[in-house]
Structure 1
């Protein structure tokens, strides 16, 4: 399976290095790669990822603990109405997860295949091959960012409701509508990243008593997972190579924000969301599963932001090479160090 992913990664790399002048060929290749990604995620071997057995258990039992209604509906239709095997569940989520991510990329990115490369190197492995419910939600959230920029509340609100239907964590994105798509207050967002790290080392627990019943119940569930050993608190590392790399990327982009905006009109808004993702990661460290989940939701914007590193270099090919190195680094980290897939 890893060899197949490496092959797809290589094909996308060639599409970056040798871009077609024909929009028809570009779009056709984009769709073909999307289909391949959906097929790989659908037909991955059993036990090839951390969550496979969990979903197999959900499929085999009538008891559901902390599962969204979308999962129950999809399972009921596939299993009870049509009598399909568990494979059908992974097919549905793979198609949905890949589709919304590719739609989000096409909506927000000005460098299609560079974004696709970053996606395959990072969030494809995290979401479509592991956290399949959260993967669909994150993709829908990515699409909704357009409506924050355009100040169109109802399309944004409905998309977040749909995302929350697939994973409850998506409701955390609702306050992001208050963000302005301009450079205003961007310095404040940059400043909160080190503040989050400082609060982490001071041992500040900001989620001990959240005065919202539903959120508090979710937090209690994550605490139960932590205390039972399901969520490995020992593994939380604010100095992980992945987190430090993302902080470095943010500040490289932040220091060249005007140039980014010339390349992509969503740049300021995306930087603010990225800063929030880096801020909450150490801030919510008391419950690692919750921290990773929120950071993963908001951090999905790096699919669009990381390719903008290419604009910081005088020679475009050097910039492309830098993005490829980052994407390959994420790819290696997720497979060799995090061991997301086997």
Structure 2
């Protein structure tokens, strides 16, 4: 767990230092550090990393590479290109890490009202470490992030195009297309949320069955899970949702981007609740939650800036660190962090 905390501390410290000393928003060093940390890990870090690096570990000849109907074409093309150049899985992890971290930092830098805090949340809330396991969906989510300006500016065509590109790496990216209309409908937010919840209540079982039918890899989505991790995570984000809505109402936060992101986040959480009620595997459809929870890296800095209370901010930072430690050490086989053997000198 210590390596994760050291990386968190280094990145946040450098961002604050560069801002104080040069009055400049740090981008490149956080990008390099977070990319190298993610890309330099062993295939044994993360429950699914071995599956993604299997062809590299098996030294698969490019002549024997076969495109599968069970894996999205975009990801397979990327793997094929890298595999044709090298058999070292480091390059798969470092390239995908660079793309993912770059996409997030680009949007955070553009929209955050408190950059260091947003990057802190990006790491501690698990958005950063999500792709340590779900690499394909992590890529899809990161590409989808680039559509946020078009969601906020009400430009459907580029929003749809980016979602389509993201779906080449994980089909679930198409799931967020309807939320463009939910966010931009000219009705009260409460009606949007109610519509989303009952729509999910009616369609959730059909959605899970459809996802499972499109790909044999997703059959586990329909299986009932006895794991508590998914419910704890969902509960955590429901509590944050309630808190942000309450504070937004009390402090009358009128920022238009804040309002749209809150609707996007809240409607996403309410859509996932019926999926969770099905008792499905948390590593399955409940992973869709991550398409929405990343918005907290932009929402919460606005909330805490409005509250402007050092004690509440300090307690919250401490709570997020505890959450980061618990989720990283207990779930998804992320701890201990093991470096790629190619970097082991001794």
TM-score in same-fold range (> 0.5)? yes
Any residues of structure 2 matched to 1:1-342 within 5 Å, and which?
A: 2-14=1-13, 20-21=19-20, 26-27=24-25, 29-59=26-56, 60=58, 62=65, 64=68, 66-80=70-84, 82-181=85-184, 184-189=187-192, 206-209=203-206, 215=211, 217-218=213-214, 221-224=217-220, 227=223, 233-236=225-228, 239-240=231-232, 242-257=233-248, 259=251, 261-262=253-254, 264-285=255-276, 286=278, 287-288=280-281, 289-315=283-309, 317-342=310-335
Instruction: Compute the RMSD of aligned alpha carbons.
Output: 3.2
CA distance in 2, matches of 1:14, 1:290: 35
Indicate if the aligned counterparts of 1:101 and 1:139 stay in contact, CA closer than 8 A.
yes
Q: Are the structure 2 counterparts of residues 160 and 183 from structure 1 closer, same or farther at C-alpha, using a change threshold of 3 Å?
A: same
Q: Are the structure 2 counterparts of residues 340 and 100 from structure 1 closer, same or farther at C-alpha, using a change threshold of 3 Å?
A: farther
Larger displacement relative to structure 2 (121-130 or 151-160): 121-130
Q: Are the structure 2 counterparts of residues 278 and 329 from structure 1 closer, same or farther at C-alpha, using a change threshold of 3 Å?
A: farther
Using the size of structure 1 for normalisation, the TM-score is 0.81
Cα deviations by residue, 1:130-160 (Å, 9 ceiling, x for unpaired): 2122122212222212211211122211211
Compute the displacement of 1:214 (Å).
Answer: 6.4
Compute the displacement of 1:92 (Å).
Answer: 1.1
Larger displacement relative to structure 2 (99-108 or 279-288): 279-288
Using the size of structure 2 for normalisation, the TM-score is 0.80
CA distance in 1, matches of 2:322, 2:194: 26
Compute the displacement of 1:102 (Å).
Answer: 0.7
CA distance in 2, matches of 1:179, 1:109: 23
CA distance in 2, matches of 1:249, 1:143: 24
Indicate if the aligned counterparts of 2:152 and 2:257 stay in contact, CA closer than 8 A.
yes
Which structure 2 residue ranges, 5 or more long, are not aligned? 336-346
Which structure 1 residue ranges, 5 or more long, are not aligned? none
Give the 3-state SS of the residue equivalent to 2:147 in structure 1.
helix
CA distance in 1, matches of 2:152, 2:192: 17
Indicate if the aligned counterparts of 1:97 and 1:132 stay in contact, CA closer than 8 A.
no
Q: Are the structure 2 counterparts of residues 257 and 58 from structure 1 closer, same or farther at C-alpha, using a change threshold of 3 Å?
A: farther
Compute the displacement of 1:314 (Å).
Answer: 4.1
Compute the displacement of 1:44 (Å).
Answer: 0.6
CA distance in 2, matches of 1:192, 1:153: 21
CA distance in 2, matches of 1:290, 1:89: 24
